[in-house]
Structure 1
C-alpha cells in the first residue's frame, strides 16, 4: 500500500533528494579537482592515469546497469543509503592510497567503489525525482539536475580553496567523504518508504525474484531504446562540450587559452540556467515540444560554434549549445519514470544507454579528431542531436501520467 504523505513530509522528501543530487555532483568535482595531484604524488604517466580513469568509468556503467537489481532486492531507501556510504568510503580510500600508502591498486579500489556507488545512486535518485514529480504534478527533474550542477561548482570551488591552502589529497577527500556520509544519513531519514520505489516493506508481499523480473523487463520495451536515443544524443552533446569545447575554441578558432575556459563557462552557465527554469516551460508546453525546440537550438549552436568567423559568435554558439543540451537527459529520465511501478527498471535501462554515450563519446571523438580535425569531428554531434530531436516523441507522457503533457 502506498504511503500517504503530509505536506511537511513531502517537503522533507524533496529537500532530501535535492541534497543527494548536490553531493553526487560534489563528489565528482572533488575527484576531478585532485586528478593532477594524484598523478604527481603516485608518479604515474598519462597512459596509467588514463587506465585508472577507464576503470572508474567502467565501474560507473556497472553500477548503472545493476541499480534496478539492487532496488528489487533491497529497496530504494536502503539502496541509496548504502551506495552513498560506499562512494564516500571510496573517496577516502583514494586519499589513503595516494598520500598514506602510495599505492596505485588502492587508488583503483577506491575509484571502483566511488564509480560503482555513484553510478547506481544516479538511477535511484532519478527514480526518486520522478516519484516526486508525480506526487507534485510538476516537472522537477531539470531542477534536481541543476542541483547536481551546483554540486560540481561547489566541489570545484572547494578544491581550489583546499589546494591553495596546501591540503593534501587525503585530507581533502576525507573531509568531503565525511560530509557525504552525514548528508546520506540525514537525507535518507527523510525519504519515505514507498512501494513505487521498490521498497519491500511498503508493497504487497512478493518475492524479490519477481521484482527482479520487472526490473529487467524494460530492456524488452521499444520505448526504452527510443528514450535512449533522446538521451544518447544529448549526452554526447554534453560530454563532448565538457571535454572538447575549450580545446575547440583554442585550437579550432585560434583563440588564447583563457578564451577556451571562458567558452566552457558560457556553455555550463547556459545549461545550468535552463535546468533551473526549465520545469515550468515543460509544464506549459510539454516534454516533446520542449525537446524538439532544444534539439534545434543545440544543432544551431554546434553549427555556429564550428563555422563562426569571430570569437563572439563562437561564444553565442557555445551558449546555444548549452541551452540545447540542457534538458535532454533529465527529461529522458522523467519520461522513463512515468509509470511508478516500473520506474526503477526503465530509468536504469535508459540511463545506461545515455551514460555509456556520456562516458565513451568524448574519447571516441578524440580518436576521430586525430583523423579529420576537431571542428570537423563536432559535425557528429550535429547528427546525433538531430536524431535525439526526431526521437523526442518517445518522451510523450504515458496514459495516466500527470507530468510532462503541458498546459499546466
Structure 2
C-alpha cells in the first residue's frame, strides 16, 4: 500500500504533465487563428514557431545544472512560473496582433516546459524507486492525454469563434492553479539526489562525442531524427496544412490535429504487445510505413476527407519510433548513458528545430508539397530499421509514451515536441 504522501507526489507529477500537454495543444490548435491575427506568411509563421524551439532547447540545456544545485521541486517551480507567463504573453501577442509578442511568449513557454521536463523525469524516477512499479510511462501518457484534451478544447472554442487571446489567457490561469497545487505536493531534495546523473560535465560531453564512432548508433540516430521530425512536423503544421492545403475551415483543421493527438496517445499506450511479439526492428519498420502512407495521403489525396482520415495513420506511425530508438541506444550497459543522451538530444533537436524550418520551403512550393520531405525521410527510417535489433540476445522492448525531452532517463520514458 502506498502512503498518502507518495500518492500525492505521484498524482502531482501526473497533473503537471497533463496540464503541460493541455497548454501545448491549446497553442497548436489555434495556430491558424494566430496566423490570421498576425497577418504573416507561412514563412513568417515559421519564424514565430522558432520561439518555441529555441526556448525549449535553452530550458532543457540549463535544467540539469539547476536541478543539481537547487533540487527538482525548485526547478519545477521556476519552470511552471515561466511556462504560465509564456502562455499569458502569447495570449497578449495574439490579441494585439504582435508577432514579436507571440514569439517572446512561445520562447518563455518553451523555456518553462524545457526547465520542468528534466526535473519531472527525475521526480518520476524517484517515485518508481519508492513504489517499485513503473511510473514514467504513465507520466508521459498524461502529457499525450493533455494534448488530446487541449485539442478538443481548441476545437470547441474555434467553432464558437472564441477569441484566441482570451482562450490562451484562460489556459494560462488554469495552468497556474494546477501547477501550484502540483508542485506543492512534490517533496524537496529529490532532484539534488539525482542531479549528478542529470549534469553534463566535461567528461560527459567528451563521451557524448565519442559514442558517435559506433556505426550502429549513427543509424539509430538517423531513425530517431526522422521519427521525431515526423511527429514535430504534425505538431507545428497540421492545422495549417489542412486549412491552407486542403481548404478546410479552421474548426476542421483543429479537429484534424485532435485526431492526430488521439492516434499518438493510442499508439503509445497500445504498442507494448506488438514490441514484445515482433521486436523493435519490425515494429519501427511497420510504423514508418504506416506513417508514410498517412503523410502520402495527406499530400497527394485531392479529398479533404481522405486527408483528414489519413492523419490517424500519421499519428499511429509516429508514436513509437522515438522511444524504441532510445531503448535500442541503451542496449549495451557499457556507456549506455552517454549513448542514450546523445540519441535523445538528436531527437529533441529534430523535434523542435526541424519542423519550423519547413515554413521557408512552404513559402515557395506550398505546405502540401513540403510535407514530401517528411515522406522521403520515413522511407529512409524504414530501410534503416534493422539497426534497432539488439546486438546480443533479444531484449523485450517496452513501449513508453514518447515526449522528446532529451533527458538521460530516456530508457524508461520518451525523452520531446516535445518535441
TM-score above 0.5, yes or no: yes
Quick one: which of 107, 114, 124 aligns to 2:109?
A: 114
Q: How many angstroms does 1:188 deviate by?
A: 2.4
- What is the distance in 2 between the residues matched to 1:285 and 1:140? 25
Please name the residue that 1:46 is paired with.
40
| Residue aligning to 1:204 | none
Cα 1:284–1:135 shift into 2, 3 Å: farther
> 2:32, 2:303 → 1: CA distance?
33
SS of 1:46 mapped into structure 2: coil
Alignment size in residue pairs: 391
Work out the CA distance in 2 between the residues paired with 1:262 and 1:102. Answer: 24
Q: How does 1:287-326 map to 2 (within 5 A)?
A: 287-308=280-301, 313-315=306-308, 317-326=310-319
Query: Does the aligned pair in 2 maintain the 1:61–1:352 contact within 8 Å?
Result: no
1:275 to 262, 268, 272: 268
Residue aligned with 1:198, SS: helix
* Residue in structure 1 matched with residue 14 of structure 2 by the alignment: 18
Q: Which secondary structure state, in structure 2, belongs to the residue aligned with residue 188 of structure 1?
A: coil
Indicate whether 1:153 and 2:148 are aligned.
yes
Query: Bigger CA drift: 135-144 or 152-161?
Result: 135-144
Partner Cα distance (1:373, 1:102) in 2: 24
Judging changes above 3 Å, is the alpha-carbon distance between structure 1 residues 221 and 329 closer, same or farther for their aligned structure 2 residues?
Answer: same
- Alignment match of 2:228 (pick from 235, 243, 246): 235
Give the aligned partner of residue 205 of structure 1. none
Task: Structure 1: give runs of 5+ residues left out of the alignment.
Answer: 201-207
Aligned counterparts, 1:237-386, within 5 A: 237-246=230-239, 261-308=254-301, 313-315=306-308, 317-334=310-327, 349-386=342-379
Matches within 5 A, 1:15-164: 15-32=11-28, 45-46=39-40, 51-92=47-88, 110-126=105-121, 143-157=138-152, 164=162
Q: Is the Cα–Cα contact under 8 Å of residues 131 and 340 in structure 1 kept in the other structure? A: no
Q: Per-residue CA shift, 1:339-386, capped at 9, x if unaligned?
A: 999888666543432233233333433333444454443332122123
Decide whether the 8 Å contact of 1:216 with 1:345 is kept in 2: no
Q: Note if contact 2:275-2:283 (Cα within 8 Å) is conserved in structure 1.
A: yes
| Comparing 14-23 and 54-63, the one that deviates more | 14-23
8 Å contact from structure 2 (residues 147, 261) kept in 1: no
* Aligned counterparts of 2:332 and 2:8: Cα–Cα separation in 1: 23
TM-score (norm 2): 0.69
User: Alignment RMSD, CA only?
Assistant: 4.9
Q: TM-score, normalised by structure 1?
A: 0.71
Contact kept, 8 Å, 1:240 with 1:362, in 2: the verdict is yes
Post-superposition CA distance 1:272-329 (Å, at most 9, x none): 2112222343344443432222112222332344444655544553322221111123
| Structure 2 match to 1:203 | none
Q: How far does residue 214 in structure 1 lie from its aligned partner after superposition?
A: 2.9
Structure 2: segments with no counterpart, 5+ residues: 400-419
**1:173-212 correspondence runs (5 A):** 174-189=172-187, 197-198=194-195
CA gap of 1:332–1:8, structure 2 versus 1, over 3 A, is: farther
Q: In 2, Cα distance between the equivalents of 1:167 and 1:244?
A: 20
Answer whether contact 1:126 1:141 (CA < 8 A) is retained: yes
1:124-181 CA distance string (max 9 Å, x none)? 5456667778999988766544321221233345565698599847852552242243
- Greater gyration radius: 1
Mapped to 1, the partners of 2:132 and 2:321 lie a distance apart of: 20
Q: State the alpha-carbon separation in 2 of the partners of residues 296 and 191 from structure 1.
A: 45
Asked whether the equivalents of residues 13 and 191 of structure 1 are also in contact (C-alpha less than 8 Å), the reply is no
How far apart, CA to CA, are the structure 2 residues paired with 1:17 and 1:35? 28
Structure 2 Cα separation of the partners of residues 220 and 352 of structure 1:
15
